[in-house]
Every structure is written in structure tokens, then in C-alpha cells.
């Protein structure tokens, strides 16, 4: 009996301490003048998501619609209190005007300030914080201006023409009979080849050589729904200090090592042989030396006509040319995050866009007419950077696709010092230092207050007459403020280029496997269709 008590008392004490730790913030919002979602131990307010009962996209829309009359409400994400901001004007204040209070993202995977931690994700532009982020953003920003994208565009066109030729050849082998394809697989291979050549400076052919090392390692790295990756995600949320102490990372060491060796070998070879190529590694090598200068805003005016393009803030322009000390691991990390964004985000955007063009034939036909006109104006020559930005209806279609199916359904900001919210009416409270602001992008994009009939795919929302009616703070496919997506120009020209070349050769047709309405795969992993997106490619006459 005495031995049992010796064991039982410490066990109860440990369990009590653990219970306190995982529930101590569950009543955090009770003394705030805002509503809050119910919270339960460990899950917080996110049980439906963590137990894969819903998709992240649908989860964001559902919580956004839960309190339709409020500007802000509270939610507990596992252990973290989060202020969910529904009001576009408050989002603008937080993301732009009062950015200095919210300069960082929520730390999720690895501590960027721990110099002993070799976790790559923690060293990416997304994860680093404070002045280090400002310096890195200013150093990298000139690499993503319109003039640099213009030089990279030829590489994208090469990948796009190769893809169109491949599927034309495949259908030719079958006597020109239309064939069904799963579009996520199709566009992931395309995005892989684009990122391989534009970011890593190597040529791979993921269509003719489907099991190439670059593609297979990329697929493994992006497999966020694996149990081990889910455990790491939970570990970083619940016990971040322990995960950092264990030197854990979101990605497997095998894939980290693969991409690290590619980049280091490429840099060594180029430095030794004086090789210059219009790709991201070359730009990072220049950035590390402080040799990149930010172009004048006037040069970007044509690109900014694209509705979805985000403009670089003064943070990105402020110190260009200064350079930042970037070790090999940090350089690898920036290439890696560029790869991840290109590999998954771009392919996701293209997959859902293709689905909408397939089931909205009037939109597809109108877009094809513009593509045909552009092709004729080029006299059969390759698509040019200026021509792609001259396709107004293409931009409307892509902008609407990003509204309906934003690859990033939400974003966040970490409050770095106490911030008082005062709307001048009856709402006044403090967002405390260390808490998180959650911006529900998918909710805003599907709010009929900003987008009438929001579940209808309607590119005319973005025509010259209607686009000025859209609240820019309620359209955030690439985020908002200085922490917006640095690669928006690259992503948009990549999406438009492959749509141009594929639609010149094929029409997109429904098959018995085309799911209407489309249902999303459940869980926190990246946005994907529950049963895939199946489309028939039919050669044009």
C-alpha cells in the first residue's frame, strides 16, 4: 500500500501539471469583450480539423460564418489563443498600418533564433523574425521584381511548351483519342520542372522521367498527411522547446540532405567556373553579395495591373543593395521555401482552375478566344512576358480562381507587443503580446457581403468596371502588408503561361470521374480534392 502511494502521488501530480499546462489558456477570452469558440483540452477549438472531420479551407469558412456580426472573435488552436479578425479595415491596420506590432508569423516549425538548430524550415523567410526578417526581406526583394521575372520567363515558357508537346504526343500515340488525366499529378510535375530549372538551375523532365529523384524527393517532402509529419506538427504546437532541443524539423533529413547538396554543389560550380544563369540561385548569390538593386516602381506598373499581384512595401525596398550575411544553410532554406511554394501552391492553383474551366464552358471558350488572339499577334512565336500581362481576361480568370480556391486559406501574425483595438464605437480591448492574430482568407473570399453569390465562378467580378468595387482588404490570396508573398509575380506568370500553352492545344472536358460539386480532402494538410480532379484533354481541331 505504501509503495502504491509512493508511485501514485507523483503520477497524479504529473498528470495534474500536464492538465494545467494544456488547459491554462482555454478561458483566455472570457475577460475580453468578444465572443469565443468553445475549447477543450489539447484540441482547443480545432477538434474537427485535427481529427480530419473537415478540410482546412472549409474549417476557415465555417468559423468565419459562426459570428457574422462581429469584427473579432476568439479561438484556441490546440494551446494557443488566437484572435480571428473578420473586419477588412482592422485586418489592414494589423497587416499594414500597425505592422510593427505584428511583424512576425506565429512560430510553428523550429526556432529561427536558435543558431545551433539546423532545422531548415526555421531559417526560411516565412519563419525568421524581427530585424533578421527585415534584413532578409530587403535583400531578397529585388530578386522578385518585374525585371528579374522577365529574365526568368523564358525558362517558364520552355517548361510550358515541353508539357504541351508531351501531352500532344501522348494523345497522338493513341490516335488523337481524348484521354483522362488527374490534374494535380499533371500540374505537380509541371511545377516541379519549373522550380527545378528556375530555383535550382537544373533541368529535369518529370513527364518522360516520372520517377526522377527531384520529383520523388519533392513529393516526400510535401506529404504532410503522413503520421510522422502530423506528430511533428502537434509536437511543435504542444512542446516547441522540446522539439527545438531535439533538433527536430518538419521535413525528413533525407530530403533536406538531397536538396542541400544540390544547392551547395551548384553554388560551388558556378563560383569556380563563373557560370551565370537567370535563375533563383544566381539571384541569391548576388543578394548575398549585396549586388541586387531594387528597380523603380514605374518599371513594375504593367505587372501591377494584374489584380492579384501584391506590391512590395517599403520594408522590402528600404535596404536593397546592403546585402545580408547569409550562410549556406540559410541560402538553402530560401531555395527550399521557394521550391515548396512552387511545387504545391502553384500546382494546387492550376488544378482547381482547370476544374472550374472544365465545368464552366462559357468561361473556357472566352479565355480560349483571348489566347488565340494573343497567339496570332505573336505570329506563332513563343509567348512573351509583355503578351502574358496583356491578356486581361486571363487575369480575370486567374484572379477569380484564387478567390474561390485560395491555396492559403488563412494566414497569421504574432503580436510582439500589447496592441489596443479601439473601433471608436463600443469595441475596445487589448491583443496581448505573445498571442496570435488569425486572418481567415477563405472566409473573406466567400462572404456575400464582398462577393455576391460567392460560390459561383465568375471572372467578371474582376473586369474593368467591377474590380474597383472589390474591397482590396477582403481579397488576400497572397496575404497582406510587408509579410505578403514575395513570389506572387513568379506564381502568376507561371500559372498563366501553362494555361496559355495547354489551352492552345486542348480543351478541358468533363468525364464520369469529374466530381461536381468538388469536395475537399479532410485534415490540415494542403488543399486537395477528396477524389482528385479528373479532366479529359481533347485535342483542338
The H-assigned helical ranges of 274-391 are 280-288, 314-318, 328-340, 347-359, 361-377, 385-390
Q: How far is CA 69 from the centre of its chain?
A: 29
* Environment class of 464 (CB within 10 Å of its CB; exposed 0-12, middle 13-18, buried 19+): exposed
Q: Are 55 and 527 in contact (CB under 8 A)?
A: yes
Continuous segment of H or E residues that includes residue 302: none
Task: Count the neighbouring beta carbons within 10 Å of the beta carbon of residue 37.
Answer: 17
Residues facing residue 77 across a β-bridge: 44, 80
CB contact at 8 A, 202 and 266: yes
User: Does residue 515 contact residue 337 with C-beta atoms inside 8 Å?
Assistant: no
Report the alpha-carbon distance of residue 429 to residue 424 in Å, rounded: 12
Yes or no: say if 106 and 81 are a contact pair by the CB < 8 Å rule: no
CA 103/CA 481 separation, integer angstroms: 10
Cα torsion at 6, 9, 10, 12 (round to 10°)? 150
C-alpha 241/C-alpha 245 separation (Å) is 6
Residues 6 or more apart whose CB falls under 8 angstroms from that of 424 comprise: none
Q: Provide the 3-class DSSP secondary structure of residue 438.
A: strand
514 SS3 class: coil
Cell of 69: 456580426
Q: Determine the Cα–Cα distance for residues 408 and 105; give it in Å rounded to an integer.
A: 14
Distance CA 488, CA 65 (A): 28
159 is in an annotated binding site: no
Rounded to an integer, what distance in angstroms lies between the CA atom of residue 67 and that of residue 535? 38
Q: Are 37 and 75 in contact (CB under 8 A)?
A: yes
Which residues participate in the annotated binding site for heme?
485
- Known binding residues: 485
Amino acid at each position: 500500500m505504501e509503495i502504491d502511494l509512493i508511485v501514485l502521488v507523483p503520477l497524479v501530480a504529473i498528470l495534474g501539471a500536464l492538465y494545467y499546462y494544456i488547459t491554462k489558456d482555454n478561458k483566455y477570452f472570457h475577460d475580453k469583450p468578444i465572443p469565443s469558440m468553445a475549447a477543450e483540452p489539447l484540441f482547443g477549438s480545432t477538434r474537427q480539423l485535427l481529427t480530419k472531420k473537415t478540410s482546412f479551407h472549409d474549417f476557415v469558412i465555417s468559423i468565419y460564418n459562426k459570428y457574422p456580426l462581429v469584427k473579432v472573435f476568439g479561438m484556441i488552436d490546440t494551446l494557443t489563443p488566437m484572435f480571428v479578425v473578420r473586419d477588412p479595415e482592422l485586418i489592414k491596420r494589423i497587416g499594414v498600418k500597425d505592422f510593427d506590432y505584428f511583424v512576425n508569423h506565429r512560430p510553428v516549425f523550429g526556432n529561427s533564433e536558435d543558431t545551433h538548430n539546423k532545422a531548415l524550415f526555421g531559417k526560411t523567410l516565412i519563419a525568421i523574425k524581427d530585424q533578421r526578417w527585415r534584413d532578409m526581406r530587403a535583400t531578397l526583394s529585388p530578386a522578385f521584381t518585374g525585371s528579374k521575372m522577365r529574365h526568368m520567363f523564358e525558362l517558364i515558357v520552355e517548361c510550358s511548351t515541353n508539357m504541351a508537346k508531351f501531352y500532344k504526343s501522348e494523345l497522338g500515340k493513341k490516335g488523337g483519342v481524348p484521354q483522362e488525366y488527374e490534374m494535380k499529378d499533371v500540374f505537380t510535375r509541371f511545377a516541379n520542372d519549373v522550380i527545378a530549372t528556375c530555383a535550382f538551375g537544373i533541368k529535369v523532365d518529370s513527364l518522360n522521367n516520372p520517377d526522377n529523384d527531384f520529383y520523388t524527393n519533392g513529393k516526400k517532402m510535401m506529404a504532410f498527411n503522413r503520421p510522422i509529419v502530423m506528430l511533428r506538427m502537434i509536437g511543435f504546437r504542444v512542446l516547441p522547446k522540446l522539439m527545438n532541443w531535439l533538433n527536430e524539423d518538419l521535413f525528413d533529413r533525407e530530403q533536406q540532405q538531397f536538396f542541400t547538396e544540390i544547392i551547395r554543389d551548384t553554388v560551388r560550380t558556378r563560383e569556380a567556373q563563373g557560370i551565370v544563369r537567370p535563375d533563383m540561385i544566381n539571384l541569391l548569390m548576388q543578394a548575398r553579395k549585396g549586388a541586387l538593386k531594387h528597380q523603380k516602381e514605374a518599371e513594375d506598373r504593367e505587372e501591377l495591373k494584374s489584380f492579384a499581384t501584391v506590391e512590395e512595401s517599403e520594408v522590402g525596398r528600404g535596404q536593397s543593395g546592403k546585402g545580408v550575411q547569409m550562410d549556406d544553410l540559410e541560402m538553402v532554406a530560401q531555395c527550399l521555401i521557394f521550391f515548396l511554394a512552387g511545387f504545391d501552391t502553384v500546382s494546387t492553383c492550376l488544378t482547381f482552375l482547370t476544374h472550374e474551366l472544365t465545368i464552366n464552358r462559357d468561361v473556357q471558350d472566352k479565355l480560349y478566344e483571348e489566347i488565340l488572339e494573343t497567339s496570332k499577334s505573336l505570329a506563332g512565336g513563343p509567348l512573351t512576358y509583355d503578351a502574358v500581362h496583356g491578356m486581361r481576361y486571363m487575369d480575370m480568370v486567374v484572379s477569380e480562381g484564387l478567390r474561390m480556391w485560395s491555396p492559403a486559406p488563412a494566414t497569421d501574425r504574432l503580436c510582439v507587443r500589447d496592441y489596443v483595438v479601439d473601433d471608436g464605437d463600443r469595441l475596445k480591448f487589448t491583443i496581448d503580446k505573445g498571442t496570435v492574430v488569425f486572418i481567415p482568407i477563405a472566409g473573406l473570399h466567400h462572404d456575400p457581403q464582398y462577393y455576391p453569390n460567392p460560390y459561383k465562378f465568375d471572372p467578371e467580378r474582376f473586369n474593368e468596371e467591377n474590380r474597383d468595387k472589390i474591397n482590396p482588404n477582403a481579397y488576400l490570396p497572397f496575404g497582406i502588408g510587408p509579410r505578403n508573398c514575395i513570389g506572387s509575380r513568379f506564381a502568376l506568370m507561371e500559372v498563366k503561361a501553362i494555361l496559355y500553352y495547354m489551352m492552345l492545344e486542348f480543351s478541358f472536358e468533363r468525364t464520369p470521374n469529374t466530381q461536381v460539386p468538388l469536395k475537399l480532402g479532410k485534415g490540415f494538410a494542403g488543399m486537395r480534392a477528396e477524389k482528385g480532379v479528373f479532366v479529359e484533354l481533347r485535342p483542338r481541331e
